[in-house]
């Protein structure tokens, strides 16, 4: 199984993935990341430096603005904004925004129940919805209703031993000091533009950006919040280290490398197949096509241009946690 076919199996109805390379894994607690390097698609406006939250029009409706002079912006899937003392929102879908365009998303989810106030334009750090909420949020795209994700958030909080409320802030903000350490525990490598994420040995998600600069801007929201939340809850307790069965230093080095290789192969073998998944085009901008993937245990969205992959955010579809 080559690396390309490994990735191709994950991205249905096939954009060309030739040239993408999967690197050596990094593991921090329960979270393992395999970096992806590959072909770049320059000119896409990245979300932190180019995309701005323009305003919150009302609960469940936000406006984003592509402030770049040139270049289409790909709004990352499930991007959300948290601000002190204000109502916080996340989007249910990715999107394509032309340069200078302002667009309203009336199907946004409010992620903080029962607190007044709106987001303001300042202090715009963003997150990506935790893995456990992503399938539900994707299913809710196109549906209006600011409170539509509250029951799932509440159930997630309860599952994590927190107060059963529709406040994602209980995790994203109050556990921020622990979650943001994933940014240091797992390092973004030079030239990296994507990653495979595993929680435990279970495949969690595939994320690919148009270029390394774009990926660098989504790296922290992905590693700390999209996948870091589940990994934080699954953080293993440190055990007694097991010595290697070797007799000299050279043997120790060889055994260390062998175990690392075995670990990588084991992870790649655990990747699911997109067989059985369906894709549907959501929107297009010139030759860029945004597709949604559902079924076959996978969910998410990807952007292709002609037959080349430009952006992907695909994850193992967890059933929505039961609403309490």
Partner 1 sequence: MRTVELLHHFSTHATPLGLPRGGEVSWDDAEFHRAAWAADPEGYLLTALVPGARPQQRARALLQALAASWAGVADGSRVTLEKATRAILFDLPPATVLTVLLALRRLRANHKHTTRAVLTFVLDHPQAPTLIDARRPTLVDCFEHALGKATARGCARRIAEGDTDSEYLRRNLLRFGADPEQTRARVTALYGPGVPGVPVPRTGVAPLDPEREREPVITSTNRGDVAATLVHLYRGGPEAELRPALGRYLAEVTRGLPPMPGSIALVADTSESMRGYGDREWALLSQAVALRLVLAEVCPRLSVVEIGAGPEPTDLAGGLLDALATGPELVVLVTDGYENRLSGDLARVVATLPRLGIDTPIVLCRSMFTGRDDLTLRNPAPALPCLDFWHQDDFAGLLPRLFAHCADGRDWIHAAVRHRLDHRLEGVRP
Binding residue for partner 1 (CB under 8 A) from 21, 104, 174, 253?
253
Q: Whose Cβ is closer to partner 1: residue 158's or residue 185's? A: 185
Hey, what are 120's tokens?
């303001």
Q: For helices 150-159 and 131-139, give the axis angle rounded to 10 degrees.
A: 160
Binding residue for partner 1 (CB under 8 A) from 19, 58, 121, 191?
191
Q: Name the minimum Å distance from CB 26 to partner 1.
A: 5
Residue 302, strand partner residues = 291, 312
Angstrom distance (rounded) from CA 216 to CA 51: 14
| Binding piece for partner 1, criterion CB under 8 A, among 58-66, 98-106, 133-141, 250-258 | 250-258
Q: Which helix (H) or strand (E) holds 278?
A: strand 278-285
| Binding piece for partner 1, criterion CB under 8 A, among 24-32, 126-134, 159-167, 290-298 | 24-32
238 binds partner 1, rule: CB under 8 A: yes
Q: Whose Cβ is closer to partner 1: residue 120's or residue 187's? A: 187
Is the Cβ–Cβ distance between 73 and 44 less than 8 Å?
yes
Q: Name the minimum Å distance from CB 197 to partner 1.
A: 15
Binding residue for partner 1 (CB under 8 A) from 4, 6, 9, 28?
28
Q: Whose Cβ is closer to partner 1: residue 9's or residue 28's? A: 28
194 binds partner 1, rule: CB under 8 A: no
| Sign of the torsion formed by the C-alpha atoms of 308, 21, 223 and 167 | positive
Angstrom distance (rounded) from CA 253 to CA 249: 6
Hey, what are 27's tokens?
């593991």
| Binding piece for partner 1, criterion CB under 8 A, among 22-30, 71-79, 126-134, 195-203 | 22-30
Nearest to 53 by CA among 136, 135, 115, 118: 118
Region 254-293 residues binding partner 1, contact defined as CB under 8 A: 256, 260, 263
| Binding piece for partner 1, criterion CB under 8 A, among 58-66, 162-170, 241-249, 289-297 | 241-249
Strands (E) across 12-130 are located at 21-22, 26-28, 31-37, 51-58, 61-66, 73-75, 79-81, 89-90, 95-97, 102-105, 109-110, 126-128
Angstrom distance (rounded) from CA 64 to CA 90: 12
Binding residue for partner 1 (CB under 8 A) from 3, 4, 27, 124?
27
Q: Name the minimum Å distance from CB 171 to partner 1.
A: 17
| Binding piece for partner 1, criterion CB under 8 A, among 39-47, 80-88, 161-169, 248-256 | 248-256
Angstrom distance (rounded) from CA 166 to CA 164: 7
Q: Name the minimum Å distance from CB 251 to partner 1.
A: 8
3-class DSSP assignment, residue 63: strand
Binding residue for partner 1 (CB under 8 A) from 6, 26, 101, 273?
26
Binding residue for partner 1 (CB under 8 A) from 69, 161, 243, 286?
243
246 binds partner 1, rule: CB under 8 A: yes
CA dist 29 → 131, 179, 186, 196, 198 (Å)? 17, 12, 10, 16, 11
Is the Cβ–Cβ distance between 72 and 45 less than 8 Å?
yes
Q: Tell me the number of residues near partner 1 by CB under 8 A.
A: 32
Write out the residues near partner 1 by the rule CB under 8 A.
24-29, 177-178, 181, 183-191, 238, 241-244, 246-249, 252-253, 256, 260, 263
């Amino acid at each position: 199984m080559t690396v390309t076919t490994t990735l191709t199996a994950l991205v249905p109805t096939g954009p060309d993935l030739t040239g993408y390379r999967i690197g050596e894994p990094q593991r921090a607690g329960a979270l393992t990341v395999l970096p992806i390097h590959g072909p770049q698609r320059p000119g896409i406006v990245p979300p932190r430096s180019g995309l701005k939250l323009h305003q919150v029009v009302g609960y469940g409706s936000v406006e984003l603005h592509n402030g770049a002079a040139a270049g289409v912006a790909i709004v990352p899937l499930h991007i959300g904004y948290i601000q002190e003392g204000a109502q916080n929102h996340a989007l249910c879908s990715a999107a394509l925004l032309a340069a200078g365009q302002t667009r309203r998303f009336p199907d946004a989810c409010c992620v903080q129940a029962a607190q007044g106030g709106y987001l303001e334009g300042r202090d715009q750090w963003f997150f990506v919805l935790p893995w456990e909420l992503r399938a539900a949020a994707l299913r809710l795209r196109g549906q209006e209703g600011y409170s539509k994700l509250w029951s799932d958030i509440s159930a997630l909080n309860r599952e994590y031993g927190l107060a059963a409320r529709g406040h994602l802030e209980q995790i994203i903000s109050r556990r921020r000091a622990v979650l943001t350490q994933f940014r240091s525990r797992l390092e973004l490598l030079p030239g990296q533009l994507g990653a495979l994420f595993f929680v435990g040995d279970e495949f969690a998600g595939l994320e690919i950006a148009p270029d390394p600069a774009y990926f660098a801007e989504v790296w922290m929201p992905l590693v700390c919040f999209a996948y870091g939340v589940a990994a934080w809850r699954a953080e293993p307790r440190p055990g007694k280290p097991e010595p290697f069965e070797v007799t000299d230093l050279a043997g120790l080095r060889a055994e260390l490398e062998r175990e690392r290789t075995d670990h990588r192969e084991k992870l790649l073998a655990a990747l699911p197949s997109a067989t059985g998944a369906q894709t549907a085009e959501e929107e297009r901008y010139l030759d860029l096509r945004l597709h949604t993937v559902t079924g076959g245990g996978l969910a998410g969205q990807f952007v292709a241009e002609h037959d080349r992959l430009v952006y992907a955010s695909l994850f193992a579809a967890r059933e929505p946690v039961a609403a309490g």
